[in-house]
Amino acid sequence: MKSPFFPRPAGIIIVFSLLLTSCKDFIEPSIDKRQVTLQAPSDGYSSPKYNVSFWWDEVEDALNYRLQIVSNNFSSPGGLIADTVVNRNTFSMNLDPGVYQWRVRAENGSSATAYSTARTLTVLQSSIKQQAVELSLPANNTLTNKSLTSFQWSSLYGATQYRIEIDTNNFVNESALVYDQTVPGQQINFSLPKDMIYQWRVRAENDTAQARWSAINQITLDKTSPGKVTLNSPINNQTVNNPVNLQWQALSGAAKYKLYVLKADSTSNFNQSFPMIVTSTNYSFSAATAGTRVYWKVSAIDAAGNEGDTGTARNFTVQ
């Protein structure tokens, strides 16, 4: 007599696992019964540093997390300090001296956990010399094709002004900076002069002391458009069958391509789908009926968003 306990064939296990994965791709799991476990700061935490880093465990199937911070406590809040959604399990910000409570819940598109048990923390008043501001915008390693840039940072308790420095040489020579100014607020608008990699930092100040410099963030200005795209097939004035495989050569520096398909007048878009952004170097076109003449051209778009010249359009006729 065979034992009723026998190993399942490996193929069945693999298929079952694939089915479970497939189901999760289409049906978002509910997370309302799960819990968020806070890691740091610990309950009752006290520190003279105004910058506080919050950390909690990730929750499976969560897409983001909602962090709430209030002054005093959630039972009798003095004010809402933060109610922010982040897509990671860490967050940092500067807090004024005082007593706070914080909590976190996990969220996805259709459900959310309960909030974690709130924790209390105390920020002690101390010298501005021990503190540093948090840089907000532009985010570190931003790539842009817009010269005019808004630089933003957090306020710092005890500061009366902020010094912002912008450089292209990592602040090696502070007498030759691109920009060096003190401002009363937490934002400036500045036009970056040319295509370069820039570094920027901010320091809070008052009449008697200077804070530490912030972290150094980087921003790259790239206003140079990519070159022309070379079309491969179909060749100009060719008669072709449906579907038509439009092909062009990959262009160095291109992040994606804009495909223009035009009517016989060579200026009107063939339909509302065009121009179309594609990441490959080909497109299967089947929207034209027999006897229709179609024009097409392609431009390259780089990572900064610059679009190159399309060059002369080609045409083909569907037979």
The tens digit of pLDDT for each residue in 13-37 reads: 554 455 555 555 568 999 999 999 9
**Statement to judge: residues 217 and 235 lie in one domain:** no
Instruction: Report, as an integer, the average pLDDT of 125-150.
Output: 96
Question: Looking at the domain assignment, is residue 29 inside a domain?
Answer: no
Residue range of the domain that includes 245: 231-318
Per-residue tokens: 181: 């100014």
Any domain includes 180 = yes
Q: Is residue 226 part of a domain?
A: no
Is the pLDDT reported for residue 90 higher than 60?
A: yes
Asked if the model's pLDDT at residue 1 lies above 50, the reply is no
Mean pLDDT (the chain, rounded): 93
Q: Are residues 212 and 247 in the same domain?
A: no
Q: Are 116 and 36 in contact (CB under 8 A)?
A: yes
Number of separate domains in the chain: 3
Say what percent of the chain tops pLDDT 90. 91
| pLDDT reading at 316 higher than 90 | yes
The confidence score (pLDDT) of residue 27 equals 84
- Residues 147, 199, single domain; the answer is yes
Given 94, 126, 158, the domain boundary residue is 126
DSSP-derived secondary structure for 33-59: T--PPEEESPTTEEES-SEEEEEE---
Q: Which amino acid belongs to residue 314?
A: R
155 located within any domain: yes
Q: What percent of the chain is modeled with pLDDT above 70?
A: 92
CA angle, 47 then 102 then 48, to 5°: 10
User: Is 31 part of a structural domain of the chain?
Assistant: no
Q: What is the mean pLDDT of residues 2-20?
A: 49
Residues in contact with 2: Cβ distance below 8 Å, sequence separation at least 6, in sequence order:
none
In terms of domains, do 133 and 101 share one? no
Angle formed at CA 196 by CA 193 and CA 198, multiple of 5 degrees: 90
**Top-confidence residue, 15 or 112:** 112
Closest of 293, 208, 300 to residue 254, by C-alpha: 300
Q: What is the mean pLDDT of residues 86-91?
A: 96
CATH (domain of 71): 2.60.40.10
DSSP 3-state of 246 = strand
Q: Are residues 55 and 108 in the same domain?
A: yes
Mean pLDDT of 110-139: 96
